[in-house]
């Protein structure tokens, strides 16, 4: 995953357990202007494409199943700790992104309305409405699937996308 990040303007914030958090527009906020959502979306599609072809080394008949969640918005960033300092992100935007991942489906990229609105300026990103979901700590939220890019990767099976 780290090697994939190099191709995009994203910053790996941290890994905790099986979670891998990245952000765009940080730590230099004006570096990619308004393309934060497109950088994270493009990276997510690339990871899904790569993972869909990978096998589990000791169980070659098994495929990796990754869920990705994306949310867009303001965050508070800072260095936490003195013994082992680390760069952390805080705020509702981070919490909703985590909920997008945890309430998603394996092999899918679930995005919030805020990310959908940011991607609407770039019609090459293909999305489909998932509908209203109960998101822990937020209540009902309209969510979407990021299903592909007109120049490349197409997401999971259309049957899942039509029924979800």
**Among the options 12, 65, 86, 136, which is catalytic?**
136
- Out of 35, 67, 99, 116, the active site residue is 99
Q: Is-catalytic flag, 136?
A: yes
Verify whether residue 138 is a known catalytic residue: no
DSSP per position, 115-141: HHHHHTT-TTEEEEEEEEEEETTTEEE
d(CA 49, CA 4): 11
Structure tokens at 105: 């489906």
Please state, as a whole number, how many other Cβ atoms lie within 10 Å of the Cβ of residue 21: 16
Q: Are 39 and 10 in contact (CB under 8 A)?
A: yes
Q: Strand pairing partners for 69?
A: 110
Measured distance CA(164)–CA(156) in Å, rounded: 12
Residues that are catalytic = 99, 136
């Amino acid at each position: 995953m780290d090697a994939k990040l190099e191709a995009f303007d994203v910053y790996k914030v941290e890994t905790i357990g099986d979670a891998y958090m990245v952000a765009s527009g940080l730590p230099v906020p004006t570096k990619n202007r308004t393309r934060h959502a497109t950088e994270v979306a493009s990276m997510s599609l690339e990871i899904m494409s790569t993972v869909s072809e990978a096998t589990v080394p000791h169980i070659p008949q098994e495929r990796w199943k990754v869920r990705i969640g994306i949310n867009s918005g303001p965050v508070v960033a800072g260095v936490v700790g003195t013994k082992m300092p680390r760069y952390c992100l805080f705020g509702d935007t981070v919490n909703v992104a985590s909920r997008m991942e945890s309430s998603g489906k394996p092999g899918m990229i679930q995005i919030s309305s805020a990310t959908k609105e940011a991607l609407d300026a770039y019609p090459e990103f293909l999305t489909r409405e998932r509908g209203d979901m109960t998101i822990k700590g937020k209540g009902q939220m309209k969510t979407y699937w990021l299903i592909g890019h007109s120049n490349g990767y197409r997401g999971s099976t259309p049957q899942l996308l039509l029924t979800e």
